[in-house]
Amino acid sequence: MAWRSSLLCCLFLSLSLAASARAATIRQNWVISYQFVHSDCVRKLAVVINGQTPGPTIYATEGDTVVVTVKNNLMTENTAIHWHGIRQIGTPWADGTEGVTQCPILPGDTFTYTFVVDRPGTYMYHAHYGMQRSGGLNGMIVVRTKAGSPDAEPFRYDGEHAVLLNDWWHKSTYEQAAGLASVPIGWVGEPQALLINGRGRFVNCSTMAAGACNATHPECATPVFAVVPGKTYRFRIASLTSLSALNFEIEVRTVILINSLFSFYYSICAY
């Protein structure tokens, strides 16, 4: 029987080695700071990751380990990052819910989030402190299926695009928060723009004071998703709106697009 148990042992060892060899570690270094942006052509102070909002999209494969080192360069604010939809099995301290699973990252401090993305899908991340999420501190996580996964995609596609939807106000989140906490309440009202991948267009740009709105600013240029006729594309769609319920629609203009297969993953970030 000894040879059987040693054979089983070898088999188990080789299987676990093969599994660990396949899984990768995705590393990112983030610096959180304030920066003026022109997401809808209007100049506004936002909370950004490495100078951009939304932050970088994290691409991983199921089973991979994601390691994100977050440096808080906000001068007067704490921060924390929540990985929306990631189960955090065995790593509850990486969930990023400030005051629940971790102390906030203080100004000047650095915190490293390490977690495994165990399920394929389209996810989001966002700040979990104050109204920083609405202020620009957000982004997407794309987890692809691994070869031989029981969660294998039911269709094949040649390429994919990540689409992150958001709503955007010109008032700072600090002004909004003070209004919401006032008696009587100072309601935030409708957003001034809707953003696709951090880009939108304030329709009344020409009515604003000189310098406040620049309709030709590259940061508010229309986002473009390149597709090649005859190919099949997957669109991964996520919404991080704070207030708006959105309908997403692709206007089909040509027969070429009708032949394409679109897969929509739509989720609302409720918290």
Q: Which residues bind Cu ion (CB under 5 A)?
A: 84, 269
In whole angstroms, the minimum distance from the beta carbon of 127 to Cu ion comes to 10
Burial of 156 (0-12, 13-18, 19+ CB in 10 A): exposed
In whole angstroms, the minimum distance from the beta carbon of 110 to Cu ion comes to 23
Closest to Cu ion by CB, 232 or 241? 241
As beta bridge partners, residue 35 has 46
Neighbours of 213 (CB within 10 A): 21
Nearest CA-CA partner of 80 in 60, 51, 110, 46: 110
In whole angstroms, the minimum distance from the beta carbon of 241 to Cu ion comes to 12
In whole angstroms, the minimum distance from the beta carbon of 133 to Cu ion comes to 8
Please, are residues 249 and 176 in contact by the beta-carbon 8 Å criterion? no
Closest to Cu ion by CB, 111 or 123? 123
Closest to Cu ion by CB, 84 or 234? 84
Residue 128 to residue 133: CA distance in whole angstroms = 7
User: Which residue minimizes CB distance to Cu ion?
Assistant: 84
Closest to Cu ion by CB, 10 or 100? 100
Q: Report how far Cα 233 is from the mean position of its chain's Cα atoms.
A: 20
Enumerate residues 6+ apart whose C-beta is below 8 A from 136: 37, 39, 46, 47, 48, 53, 54, 198
Residue 79 to residue 109: CA distance in whole angstroms = 10
Q: How many Å from the N-terminal Cα to the C-terminal Cα in the chain?
A: 55
> Please, where are the H alpha helices in 28-91?
none
In whole angstroms, the minimum distance from the beta carbon of 126 to Cu ion comes to 5
In whole angstroms, the minimum distance from the beta carbon of 240 to Cu ion comes to 8
Q: Which two tokens stand for residue 55?
A: 């932050």
Residue 204 to residue 102: CA distance in whole angstroms = 42
Closest to Cu ion by CB, 239 or 260? 239
In whole angstroms, the minimum distance from the beta carbon of 212 to Cu ion comes to 31
Closest to Cu ion by CB, 114 or 242? 242
Closest to Cu ion by CB, 81 or 116? 81
